[in-house]
Structure 1
Amino acid sequence: MTDARMINRFREFAALVALLAALVLAPLAHAQETNLAAELVAERAAQPGEDVMVALHFTPRSHEWHGYWSNPGDAGLGMQLDWQLPEGWEAGEPLYPVPQTLMISGIMNHVYEHEYAVLIPITVPADFSPSGSVPISLKAQWLACTDKICVPEQAKLSLFLDSKPDSVEDQRFAMWRAALPPMLDSKSAFALTQNELRLAIPIPASMALDAPHVFVSNEQLVDYGAPQTFRRKGDVLAVEIPLKGGATPEKVEGILSLGEGNGVRFMAELGDVPSGGTLVKGTAADIPPIWLLLLGALAGGLLLNIMPCVFPILSIKAISLARAGESEAQARRDGLAYTAGAMLASVALGAVMLVLRAAGEQIGWAFQLQEPSVVVFLLLLAVAITANFAGLFELPSLAITRDDKPASSFATGLLAAFVATPCTGPFMAAALGAALLLPPLPALLLFAALGLGLALPFLMIGMVPALRSRLPRPGAWMVRFRKLMAVPMGLTALALIWLTSRLGGQGFALIALVVVFGLVVALMIVGRLQRAGKLAWPAFGLIAAPFLIFGAFALPASYAEAEVSAEDSLLKPQAFSETALAEARASGKPVFLWFTADWCVTCKVNEGVAIEREATKQAFEKAGVVAMVGDWTRRDAEITMFLNAQGAAGVPLYLWYEPGGEAEQLPQVLTPDTLTELAQRPR
C-alpha cells in the first residue's frame, strides 16, 4: 500500500471518528443546557474523622420550572446520585428542605417551585492525611417539569475539597441549613387501619398550626392527593391519611409542613395513636361554626319531609297527623314520642357510622342501605306495613294501627328516621360532612338536630293547638285512607325487591321473595285468627319461623355482587376512579361527574328529570362533555373518600369541571335545564 493511499485511509478514518464523536457529544452538550441548573459546592475544608457538608444547589431557568422532593408524589421522579469518592469516604442520606404541594389535573406532586439546595453529609475517614485538594464527583439525574412538560436531566458534577483548616466557609450554607426541617427529638407513632394511615406526632399544644400537611417519605403507601385530617390532643398531633397501597412498613418517615417553608422531620414506629381531639384541619377547607352547622342540620331534617326519598313513608306520617287531633294530652304525648323516636334513630345511626369510621371503615350516611341484610329487613318491614295498611292484620304496638299508646308514635319516629337516611337535601350536606370531622359530641349533636328537624312538623302540631285545630277530625275516613296508603308502601316493597337484586344478584332476590311469601302467608293467617277473636301470634311464629330460618342460611349462600354497568344510560358515562377523573380533566374537555345509588330516591328522580334526557345527551355531545358516574349502591372506599373530600357524607353529589378548572358543586336537586345550560356555556 502506498503512502498516499495510507494517508487517505487515515483521513477517512479520522473523519469517521470525528463524525461519531459529534453524534455522541451533541446530546451531551445539549443536556448541559438544563432547565434546572445544578452546582456542587462544599461548606468548608475536609478534616480527618469529621463530616463535611456538600450541597446540590438547583436554580430553575425560569419560574415555570420546578424540581422534586425525594418522594415525588403521584408523578415525577426523585433525584438519583452516583458518587465517586476517595477510598474510605462515604456519602450520607440527602437532606431536603420542606417541599410544596402541586396538584395538576388531580395528580399530586411534591415539588420545589424556586431555587433550593439539597445537603449531603460526606464522612471523612479518621486516617485521612490532609494534603492539598481532594477531588470528589458524582453523576446526578433529576427531573425538571412545568405544568405541561417534563424533561429528564443529568450532569456530572465535581469539586476539589480544600483540606486546609483555615479555608473560608461558604456563607450560603447558613441559609440552606435553616431551610432544612429539624428532626423531632421525641418519637412519633403510627398505626394502620384497613383504609388509613394514622400518625401521632409530638407537637406542643402552644405551636400554631394554620395549614399543616404531611409529606410521607414511604412510597406507594398513602394517597398523596387525598385530604388529610388533623386533630390535636394535648401535645400530640393525630393525623389521618387515606392509604393507597397494602404495604405494612416497619417505620414511617416524612416531613410535617407547618406552612411558609417551615416544618419538622419525623420518624414513626408502630404504636398507639390517640383518637378524638380538637379538629385542626380536615377534608373541608374551613368548617363553619357549630351553631351554623346545627341550624343546617335542623333545616336539612325539616326539608326531608318534602324530599322525594321520604315520600314512601308519608303515609305513616299522614295517619299520625290525623290521629294527633283526638285529644290535647294525646297530641302532646304523640308529638314528643315521635320526636324522641326520630332523634334517637338519627343519633344511633350517626354513632354507629362514627364508630365504624374510627375503626377504619370507609362509610358514609345511609351506610346501612349498602348492606344486603339490612335491605332484606326493610323489605320484610315494608311488606308487613303494607299488609297492615291493607287490613290483613292488626299490630297494636305501631302507630299504623288504631292503638293510642305513645309507643306507637315513638316506633313511627324510629322508622321514619331510619327510612329517610338515603337522602341528603339542601343544608344537610355541609352539616353531615362536618360531622365526619368533628369530635364525637358535636358530631352527635348534629345528628340529633337532624332528627329534630325531621320530627319538627309533628312536634309543632302536637304542641300548638291552633295548628292541630286545622286537621280533619278522626273518623271512618281514616280506615279508608289507611287502606289507600297501602299502595305507596307496596310500591316501596317492590322497589326494595329490585334493590335486593342489584345488591346481591337475582338468586339473592329470589330467596328474599320466598321469605316474603312466607311472611305474607303468616300475616294473613294472623289476620283471620284476630278477626275470629282467637290467639293469633303463636301461629305466626309457627308459620314464619321455617321461612325465616331458610332465609338466614340461603341468603348468604346465594349472595353474589351484581355487575354495575352504565350501558343503559343515555350519556354512556365512564365508571368513576381517581385515575379516570384525572385523565378526563387532562383531556381539555368539560367533565360532568355524578354520584348515585340505587337506594337513593332523590338520585333516581334527578336522573329522570335532568340526566337521562335526550336534550342533555345532545348538549353533551355538542360540547364534548365527558360524563362519569360513581355508583355507591354498594360500599366503595374510593368513592367514600372522594365524597368526604368534597365535604359530602352521602349521595347525590353532582360535580362540573370546566376545562382546566376546579370542581363546581351543583345543587342536590337538579332542574331539567341545569346540565344543558352548563354544556352550552361559552368557552
Structure 2
Amino acid sequence: MPHARFFPSIIRQFAAWVLALAASLMLAGPGFAQEASPQPARGGPIIGSDKIAVALYADGAPTEGKEWTLALRFTPSASEWHGYWSNPGDAGQGMRLSLNLPPDWEVGEARYPVPKRLLISGLMNHIYEGPYTVLVPVVPGPSVKSFAGTQVEGEIEYLACTDEICVPQAAALAVQAGGDFARWRASVAPLIDAKAQFAITGKTLRIAIPLPASVGLTDPHVFIANDRLVAYSSPQTFRRVGDVLVAEIPLDEYGTGKADALAGILAFGEGSGVRFEADLGTVPVGGEVIAGAQNAPVPPLWTLILGALVGGLLLNIMPCVFPILSLKAIALARAGESEAKARAEGLAYTAGVVLACVALGALLLALRAAGEQVGWAFQLQEPGVVVALLVLAAAITANFAGLFELPSVSMRLGGEPAGAFATGLLAAFVATPCTGPFMAAALGAALLLPVPQALLLFALLGLGLALPFLLLGFVPPLRRMLPKPGAWMERFRRIMAIPMGLTGLALLWLTVQLGGRPFGLIALVLVVGVLLGLFVTGKLQRGGKLAWPAFGLVAAPFLAFALIALPSVYESKASAPKASIHNPQTFSRDALAKARASGKPVFLWFTADWCVTCKVNEASSIERESVREAFVKAGVVPMVGDWTVRDEAITQFLTEQGAAGVPLYLWYAPGASGPDQLPQVLTPELLEQQASQFSLGIR
C-alpha cells in the first residue's frame, strides 16, 4: 500500500484511532448542535474550516417549480487532507448540511463526484483528495416570490482527515454568486437512465447495472450508498452479460443483510463513473469475469495447456485409474489385434475420457454461474455421489476378480470400442479427486477464463488422461513393447482387483467421514447386497443362463433399504475438528484476520478427506514432529480449512486465491499485504525453512 509509509509504529496507529474516535464523538455529541453554539458572522467558522474550507454557490436565481442547483465547494489547505463521500466506508464521517430554505421548497439528494478508495489497516475509506464539489438540487415552491436566492444561509459539519489524524470541521454558510457550474456538473457522477436490479443471494449482494459492453472498465468498483449493507474492504467481482454489468459484493457480516432499494456509484477507474439506483429484481447469472477477486492474474494460455496435459497424464498412476488403464492397455497386446481395431479402441477410450472431463467441467461452470459455491471434485462433497462411487468401485473390483462379466465395460480380452468408451467415462470420473500440482494452475484458471477457453482446458485434461492408451492404439511399436499375451494376463487382471479394492475401502472410509458411522454401515450393507447379486449373476453367466434379471431380484431389496435408511441416519460432520499435532485453529475469515493481527506468521492449509494429494502431504510433511517444533519456535499460527463437505466460505476463499480445489497452502508473513502460495507438493524442509526465517529474525 502506498500509504504504509504513514504508519511507522503501532503507537502512531493507535493514536490515529483515538483521534478518529474523538472526532466522531465531537460530531455526534449534543454539545455540537447549532442551537447550542454561538451564532457566528455570516460565512464565519463555528468550530473551524481551516483544514478543508467550504463555500456555498448558487447557479443563478431560483424559479418556482424548476430545479435550482446549489454547490458546496470544498478546498483542502494542503494535499494531505481529504474529505468523505456520503457513505464514508468503515471509518470517517459524511457531511451534515442544514439550509434555511422555506418549507415548501424541496431539497434533493446531494450529488457527488466519483470517490476514491483508501485502505488503512484493513479499513476501507471512501474519500476525496484535492478540491471537490458537491451539488445540491433544490426545487423552489411558491414562496420563491418573496424569498431571494441571496438569502440562502446554512450550517455544515464534516470531517477532514489525513492518513493519521482526523479533525472535525464546521462552518456557517452564506450563498455566493459565481462558481464554475459547467465544470462542477461535469465532475459529478451522472445518473444512468435505466434502473439497475439487485438481489441478495446467501452472503452476497448481486447488482445488474445496465452498461453498454463498449464502456471500458480499467478498475471497476461499486460504492454502495446504503449504510453497513456490504463489506467495504472485501474484493468485488464483475461479470459481463451482454450490455449488463453484474457486480458481486460480499455482505457486511454484522449488517442487516436486507435492503428494499439500492443506490450507489459505479467507478470505471481513473476518476470516471456513473450513479445508479436499483430495485429488487432478477440478476443474470453467468457471464465473463472481467475484474475482481476471481480475476487473479492468469498464466499464459500455453502454460495452462501444458499443465492440463501433464496433470491429466499423471492421473494415470493413481490407484483408482492405473488398474483400468493397465488392463485396457494389455488387452491391446492380444494376439491377432488389427491396426484398425486398436485405433478404434484408442479413439473410443479417449472420447469417453474427454467427454466426461468436459461434462464435469461444464456442470461445474454452470453451477458457479448459478451462484453455487463449488469447486473441482465437487461431486465428492455429496454423500450420495460417494456412496454411488463406493458401489461402483466394489462392482469393478468384483469384475477384476472374475466374479462376473459386464461385456460393455469388461476388462477381459476381446474388448470392443463401446466398452473402451464406457471405460474412459469411468476412468475420468473416478480420477477427479486427484488434482496434482500440474493441474492446479490450469483448473484455477478455468474458473476465470471465458467459457470456451475453460472447456478447452477441461478437454485437454481429459486428453492428458487418455494419452497413454491413445498412443498405444496408434503406435504399433509401443504395443509390441507390452508383454506377450498369455494366461498370465488373467492372473494380472485378478491382481489388479487389489488396488481397486483398496480404492473401495478408501471410499467407504470417506463415506463414514461424510455421513457418520451409521451412514457408512448402511452403505456397506448396500455394497454387500450388490456383490451378492453380482455373485449370483456370475454363476448364471458361467452356466450360460440369463443372468441380469436375477441380479435385479437380489439387489433390489438392498437398494430400497438403502434409499430409505441412508437419508435418515445421515449426520453431517462438516464441523468436526481435524486431528493434528499442530492443534490448528479452524479456518474462518475472522479467525484469519485475528491471527494476522497478532503479528505472528500464519500457515493456512486447505484439505479434504477425499483428496489424495492432501493426505500424502499431511503424512509426509505437515504432520511431522520436526515441523511442529519449527512452528513453535517461530511462533507460527497453524490454521486448517476442511473442504471434505461443501463449505461456501472456503469455496469463495479458494476462488479468491485462484484455486479450483484443494490442496492449497498459504503462508502469511507478519505485515505482508497477502499470502505466499506454497507448492502443492510439500516437503518438511520447505515448511521448516519458512518457519526458520522468522525464528532467526530474517523477515
RMSD: 3.2
CA distance in 1, matches of 2:234, 2:427: 35
Q: Say whether 1:140 aligns with 2:157.
A: yes
TM normalised by structure 2 equals 0.83
CA distance in 2, matches of 1:95, 1:46: 20
- 1:62 Cα deviation from its structure 2 partner: 6.6
Distance 1:279 1:126, change over 3 A: same
- 1:368 Cα deviation from its structure 2 partner: 0.5
Residue 112 of structure 2 aligns with an amino acid whose one-letter code is: Y
Select the residue among 246, 249, 259 that pairs with 1:249.
259
Matching of residues 136-535 of structure 1 within 5 Å: 136-138=153-155, 140=157, 142=159, 144=161, 146=163, 154-161=168-175, 168-171=177-180, 176-194=184-202, 196-242=204-250, 247=257, 249-274=259-284, 277=287, 279-282=289-292, 283-288=294-299, 290=301, 292-306=303-317, 310-326=318-334, 327=337, 328-535=339-546
CA distance in 2, matches of 1:221, 1:438: 30
Matching of residues 3-14 of structure 1 within 5 Å: none
Residue 100 of structure 1 aligns with an amino acid whose one-letter code is: K
Distance 1:607 1:330, change over 3 A: same
Distance 1:72 1:497, change over 3 A: farther
Q: Say whether 1:666 aligns with 2:681.
A: no
Q: Which runs of 4+ in 1 moved over 6 A?
A: 33-36
CA deviation map 1:556-593 (0-9, x unaligned): 11112115343521222222222222222222221211
How many correspondences in the alignment?
643
Q: Which 10-residue stretch deviates more, 552-561 or 249-258? A: 249-258
- 1:367 Cα deviation from its structure 2 partner: 0.8
Q: Which 10-residue stretch deviates more, 617-626 or 291-300? A: 291-300
- 1:218 Cα deviation from its structure 2 partner: 3.2
> Secondary structure of 1:680's partner?
helix
Residue 499 of structure 2 aligns with an amino acid whose one-letter code is: P
Select the residue among 111, 117, 130 that pairs with 1:101.
117
- 1:547 Cα deviation from its structure 2 partner: 0.6
CA distance in 2, matches of 1:346, 1:464: 24
- 1:114 Cα deviation from its structure 2 partner: 5.3
Distance 1:360 1:567, change over 3 A: closer
Distance 1:59 1:598, change over 3 A: farther
Q: Which 10-residue stretch deviates more, 397-406 or 363-372? A: 397-406
- 1:539 Cα deviation from its structure 2 partner: 2.1
C-alpha contact (below 8 Å) 1:389/1:485 kept by paired residues: yes
Q: Which 10-residue stretch deviates more, 567-576 or 526-535? A: 526-535
> Secondary structure of 1:670's partner?
coil
CA distance in 2, matches of 1:607, 1:485: 27
Residue 157 of structure 2 aligns with an amino acid whose one-letter code is: A
- 1:510 Cα deviation from its structure 2 partner: 1.8
CA distance in 2, matches of 1:244, 1:182: 27
Select the residue among 43, 67, 79 that pairs with 2:94.
79
Residue 475 of structure 2 aligns with an amino acid whose one-letter code is: V
Distance 1:46 1:32, change over 3 A: same
CA distance in 2, matches of 1:294, 1:642: 25
Match of 2:581 in 1: 570
TM normalised by structure 1 equals 0.85
CA distance in 1, matches of 2:241, 2:320: 44
Q: Which runs of 5+ in 2 are unaligned?
A: 1-30, 38-45
CA distance in 2, matches of 1:303, 1:111: 52
C-alpha contact (below 8 Å) 2:189/2:272 kept by paired residues: yes
CA deviation map 1:467-525 (0-9, x unaligned): 22211122222222222222222221121112112211222112112212222222233
Match of 1:15 in 2: none
C-alpha contact (below 8 Å) 1:296/1:430 kept by paired residues: yes
- 1:213 Cα deviation from its structure 2 partner: 2.1
CA distance in 2, matches of 1:481, 1:60: 85
Distance 1:297 1:488, change over 3 A: same
CA distance in 2, matches of 1:402, 1:465: 18
- 1:644 Cα deviation from its structure 2 partner: 1.3
CA distance in 2, matches of 1:627, 1:611: 10
Select the residue among 57, 61, 71 that pairs with 2:74.
57
Distance 1:135 1:631, change over 3 A: same
Residue 413 of structure 1 aligns with an amino acid whose one-letter code is: G
Q: Which 10-residue stretch deviates more, 46-55 or 514-523? A: 46-55
C-alpha contact (below 8 Å) 2:286/2:370 kept by paired residues: no
Matching of residues 123-138 of structure 1 within 5 Å: 125-128=141-144, 129-130=146-147, 134=151, 136-138=153-155
Match of 1:11 in 2: none
CA deviation map 1:254-303 (0-9, x unaligned): 21111111111112334454555555335123445555543432233223
C-alpha contact (below 8 Å) 2:654/2:660 kept by paired residues: yes
CA distance in 2, matches of 1:614, 1:117: 62
> Secondary structure of 1:71's partner?
strand
Distance 1:72 1:611, change over 3 A: farther
Match of 1:165 in 2: none
- 1:532 Cα deviation from its structure 2 partner: 3.9
- 1:646 Cα deviation from its structure 2 partner: 1.4
C-alpha contact (below 8 Å) 1:106/1:578 kept by paired residues: no
- 1:142 Cα deviation from its structure 2 partner: 4.5
> Secondary structure of 1:356's partner?
helix
C-alpha contact (below 8 Å) 1:179/1:261 kept by paired residues: no
C-alpha contact (below 8 Å) 2:49/2:170 kept by paired residues: no
- 1:530 Cα deviation from its structure 2 partner: 3.2
